[in-house]
Amino acid sequence: MNRIQARFQLAWPGFGLDVDIALPGRGVTVLFGHSGSGKTTLLRCIAGLERPPVGKLSINGDTWQDERTWLPPHRRPLGYVFQEASLFPHLSVLGNLRYGLRRAKTIANGQGVSLEHAIDLLGIGHLLERKPDRLSGGERSRVAIARALAVSPRLLLLDEPLAALDHDRKQEILPYLERLHDELEVPVLYVSHAPDEVARIADHLVVLEDGRALASGPLGETLARLDLPIRLGEDTGVVIDAVVAERDEQWHLVRASFAGGSVWVRDTGMAVGHRARVRILARDVSLAHTHGDDSSILNALLAHVVAVADEAHPALALVRLDVAGTPLIARVTRRSAAHLGLRPGLPIWAQIKAVALIG
Partner 1 sequence: MLTSDELQALWLTVRLAAVVTTILLLIGTPIAWWLARTRCRWKGPIAAIVALPLVLPPSVLGFYLLLVMGPHGPIGQLTEALGLGRLPFTFWGLVVASVFYSLPFMVQPLQTAFESIGERPLEVAATLRASPLDAFFTVAVPLALPGFLTASVLTFAHTVGEFGVVLMIGGNLPGVTRVASVQIYDHVEAFEYASAHRLSAVMLVFAFLVLLALYAWRPGARKGA
Among 142, 147, 277, 320, binds partner 1 (CB under 8 A): 147
* Interstrand relation of 54-59 and 212-218 (parallel, antiparallel or unpaired): unpaired
- For partner 1, give the closer residue by CB, 147 or 279: 147
Among 99, 194, 241, 297, binds partner 1 (CB under 8 A): 99
Output b/e per residue, 174-200; b: 16+ Cβ within 10 A.
bebbbebbeebebbbbbbbbebbbbbb
For residues 24 and 19, give the distance between their C-alpha atoms in angstroms, rounded to a whole number. Answer: 16
Is position 88 an interface residue for partner 1 (rule: CB under 8 A)? yes
Is position 55 an interface residue for partner 1 (rule: CB under 8 A)? no
Is position 90 an interface residue for partner 1 (rule: CB under 8 A)? yes
Output b/e per residue, 133-149; b: 16+ Cβ within 10 A.
eebebbbbbbbbbbbbb
> Which residues contact residue 77 at a Cβ distance below 8 angstroms, ignoring those fewer than 6 apart?
104, 107, 108, 151, 152, 153, 154, 155
Is position 78 an interface residue for partner 1 (rule: CB under 8 A)? yes
Please give the residues from 198 up to 257 whose contact with partner 1 meets the rule CB under 8 A: none
Is position 49 an interface residue for partner 1 (rule: CB under 8 A)? yes
What DSSP line would sit under 187-212, residue for residue? -EEEEE--HHHHHHH-SEEEEEETTE
Number of amino acids touching partner 1 (CB under 8 A): 27
Find the part of the chain contacting partner 1 (CB under 8 A) among 103-111, 115-123, 225-233, 344-352.
Answer: 103-111
Among 1, 11, 103, 252, binds partner 1 (CB under 8 A): 103
> Which residues contact residue 232 at a Cβ distance below 8 angstroms, ignoring those fewer than 6 apart?
195
- Identity at 325, one-letter amino acid code: G
Among 42, 143, 148, 332, binds partner 1 (CB under 8 A): 148
Least Å from the CB of residue 210 to partner 1: 25
For residues 37 and 17, give the distance between their C-alpha atoms in angstroms, rounded to a whole number. Answer: 9
Among 10, 42, 104, 240, binds partner 1 (CB under 8 A): 104
Q: Using CB under 8 A, list all residues that contact partner 1.
A: 47-49, 72-75, 78-80, 82, 84, 86, 88-90, 99-100, 103-104, 107, 131, 133, 147-148, 151, 157
